[in-house]
């Protein structure tokens, strides 16, 4: 897919990653690409599925969710990992879920207000399920979101 994209496409994508609300006019000015070209390229990127939607970046501290943790989870043999992935993604405070290789099966990122909420998510909700064998939680000291 990326062979169909060129420097102009990636310049537009970079600007949208910084601020998805930018107008085509502002993107054109920041990238030195004509506005008509920006319009056509954005339409093309959407049509190719490169741009799926425009979203926002949240300030979790201002939302009173300052604690970030990453949890590794091991399912019991025979458990449908894809189904587990979907179930975890629907829990409150979950920000990202991935099926991974190695000793554990699933990795997820959670943002919560407190250790009590983290405990409720991991220990009181997940560990009580009969489909989960083990979890390992890592709390983040600091997080920088890369665009």
Class of domain 67-139: alpha beta
- HSE-up of 105 (CA within 13 Å, CB side)? 19
Whole-structure pTM value = 0.77
Residues 6+ apart with CB under 8 A from 143: 68
- pLDDT per residue over 10-44, tens digit each? 999 999 988 889 999 999 999 999 999 999 999 99
Looking at domain 2-47, its CATH class is mainly alpha
Domain-wise residue ranges, the chain: 2-47, 67-139
Residue 146 pLDDT grade (very low, low, confident, very high; cuts 50, 70, 90): confident
- Tens of pLDDT, residue by residue over 51-102, are 998 888 888 889 999 999 999 999 999 999 999 999 999 998 999 999 999 9
Distance in angstroms (rounded) separating the CA atoms of residues 1 and 44: 12
Q: DSSP secondary structure string, 112-123?
A: ESSHHHHHIIII
Give the sign of the dihedral formed by CA 110, CA 111, CA 112, CA 116: positive
**Cβ atoms of residues 72 and 135 within 8 Å:** yes
């Amino acid at each position: 897919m990326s062979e169909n994209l060129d420097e102009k496409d990636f310049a537009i994508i970079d600007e949208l990653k910084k601020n998805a609300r930018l107008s085509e006019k502002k993107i054109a000015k920041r990238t030195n690409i004509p506005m008509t070209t920006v319009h056509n390229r954005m339409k093309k990127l959407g049509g190719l599925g490169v741009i799926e939607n425009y979203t926002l970046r949240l300030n979790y501290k201002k939302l009173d969710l300052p604690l970030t943790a990453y949890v590794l989870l091991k399912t019991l043999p025979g458990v449908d990992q894809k189904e587990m992935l979907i179930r975890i993604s629907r829990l409150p405070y979950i920000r990202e879920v991935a099926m991974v290789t190695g000793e554990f099966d699933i990795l997820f990122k959670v943002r919560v207000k407190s250790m009590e909420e983290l405990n409720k998510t991991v220990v009181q909700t997940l560990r009580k399920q009969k489909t989960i064998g083990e979890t390992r939680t890592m709390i983040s000291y600091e997080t920088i979101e890369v665009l």
